[in-house]
Amino acid sequence: MLECQRDRHVSGAWLAEELGVTRNAVWKAVEALRAEGYVVEAATNRGYRLAQENDLLSPASIERFLPDGHPFDITVRKSVDSTNAEARRRALEGAPEGVVVVAEEQTAGRGRLGKTFYSPAGAGVYLSVVLRPRLQADAAQYLICAAAVACAQAIEAVTDEEALIKWVNDIFCRGRKVAGILTEGIVDMESGRFEHAVLGMGVNVRVPASGFPSEIADVAGAVCDEAVGALRSQLAAEMLARFWSLYESLPHRSFYDEYRRRCFLLGQPIVVARNGSRVRARAVDLTEDFKLVVELPDKTRRELPYGEVSTGPA
């Protein structure tokens, strides 16, 4: 209720009447919120107000930035092993499409190819969505690329930072990785279609108080030097809404041109790491189904459906 009335004070008497509790119960609830880290202002004869600088995530704080009639059922957890793992557990229990798991912290956040995703409390947006796409498994790349475009668009909308895509699933701002996408799913072997998919998006909103771990300090960055207000909630809502608009027409790949425009590897010398080897190449194009076209030193070309690429030396 305080989230919905964030711009004004709300009297304790009104809250008590609306909730069917005593004024003392309202006071205790406010104290409980303060103990969780919320800044709740209190003014005599005016009531309570949630301070504008609050950036703790909650379903209400995210939903106030979403359009009416949105399809999401949002849960926010203080800490989970991985939002993808939690969403996958819920999908296996029959959770419908649109269930969203958001976490303040991941203790075992994961990226592609078994990598970890550093996810400390209060520093980022970590969320996963349960999907039940009518999609062949070999088109999973569409989900990843749609999410990458949505994530880049959301970052730009909220922060004004230019967001570029490193094929296939990383988002960069000012030359540093600020976000990653991870898609997992279960496929019906008979039809080749997804029974369900889980889409995870993780964004570094601010640099953690203790900095990034040494192994990623040279690469990792954040979308803001200083995040103010409910920026994380707004970013989460933008990511979800923009992804859903692309997801609803996924087979049409309406986002292809924008993905290609943001893909900063095109035209660059790269190193391709596959099957334990590293090969120099040049990224020259992107196919309509999002395979990276590379030119090898002998001038032959290959289409990479997946793989790890970098701009560093072999």
- Phi, psi (rounded to 5 degrees) for 257: -60, -40
* Rounded Cα gap, residues 13 and 18, in angstroms: 9
Strands (E), 212-276: 269-274
202 forms bridges with which residues in the sheet?
126, 180
Cα-based angle 241, 75, 135 (whole degrees, multiple of 5):
50
- Cite the annotated binding site for biotin by residue number: 82-84, 106, 110-112, 177
- Cite the annotated binding site by residue number: 82-84, 106, 110-112, 177
Confirm if 127 and 83 have CB atoms less than 8 A apart.
yes
Residue type, 222: A
